[in-house]
Amino acid sequence: MKILILFVAVVATLTGCQPGPPTAVVKAAADFEVTGNGANPAWAGTDWVALNRRQEDGHPYESRFKILYSTTGIYVLMEGSDNKITTTGLPDFGDLWKEDVYEAFFWPDQTEHLYLEYEISPGNSELPILVPNSGGAFMGWRPWHYEGDRKARKATSVRPEGWSAEFFIPHALLTGIRNVPPKPGTLWRANFYRMDYDDGKVTEWDWARVGESFHEYVRFGVLIFE
C-alpha cells in the first residue's frame, strides 16, 4: 500500500513538479443497507476524509466523506455542518447543484475522458449522469435502464446541526467502462464536492483542489482499493 501511494506522488512530481493529488484508501466491506446517517457498523472501520472550503470568506461549515467498496458497488457517506438547509425540493435529475448538494465524481479508466457524476440533495433527490469531457467540452448523459441492480441506493438525514447523505453506486451502472469492478490494488481517480447556498451566499468545498470548474478531472484525487 505504501508503495502505491509513493508511486502516485512520484509520478505527479516528475510530470508536473507539483504536489501529487490527494489519496484515499478504500477498504472492502460486505454489502449493507444505507440509512442516510452512517449507522451501519461497517463505517466504523474507515476514517473520515475532510473537504476543503474553496472560498476564504465562505460559510465556516465542516464537510467530510467516507468511502467503502464491496463486490457489487461503491458506498459513500458525506456529512457537513449547516445552519440552514437551502432547497426548493428539486426532483431527481434536476439541476441539483443550484441548491445545497453533495457531489461525487468517479473516473475509473484514465485512458478515456469519461466519468460518473453523482449528486444528492438534502431532500434525497439524485442526479446520476455519465459525463464525456473533451478538453472542457462536456455534457451529462442519463443512464439507460436505470433500474434493478443498475440503480443507485441512497438516503439522507437532516439534523439541526447539519445534514448527511449515504449512497451506493452499483458496479453494474458502470458496465462497459474498463477498470470496473475494482479489485485490491486498483486505482481510480475521483473527487468529492459540496455546495451550500445559505442566505444567498454560495460556498463550495472540494477534496482534490480544482480550479473554476468541478469538471477538471485531471486534478482529481486517487482512490486506492485495498
Amino acid at 117: E
Determine contact, residues 11/23, Cβ cutoff 8 Å: no
Within a domain: 57: yes
CATH, residue 58: 2.60.40.1190
Domain that holds residue 179: 26-220
Q: Model confidence over 5-14: pLDDT tens digits?
A: 444 443 444 3
In the prediction, which pLDDT does 19 show?
75
Grid cell in block for residue 220:
482529481
Within a domain: 12: no
How many CB atoms within 10 Å of residue 147?
8
In the prediction, which pLDDT does 9 show?
45
Within a domain: 1: no
Within a domain: 16: no
Rounded to two decimals, the pTM is 0.91
Q: Which residue has 451506493 as its cell numbers? A: 168
Cα–Cα dist 225/61, whole Å: 29
In the prediction, which pLDDT does 135 show?
85
Within a domain: 206: yes
Within a domain: 176: yes
Strand pairing report for 73-81 and 63-69: antiparallel
Q: 195 by DSSP, 3-state: which? A: strand
Within a domain: 135: yes
Q: Model confidence over 18-27: pLDDT tens digits?
A: 679 999 999 9
Within a domain: 94: yes
DSSP 38-79: --SGGGGGS--EEPEES-TTS----EEEEEEE-SSEEEEEEE
Q: Would you give per-residue pLDDT tens digits along the chain (226 residues)?
A: 443 444 444 344 434 456 799 999 999 999 999 999 999 999 999 999 999 999 999 999 999 999 999 999 999 999 999 999 999 999 999 999 999 999 999 999 999 999 999 999 999 999 999 999 988 899 999 999 999 999 999 999 999 999 999 999 999 999 999 999 999 999 999 999 999 999 999 999 999 999 999 999 999 999 999 9
Domain count, the chain: 1
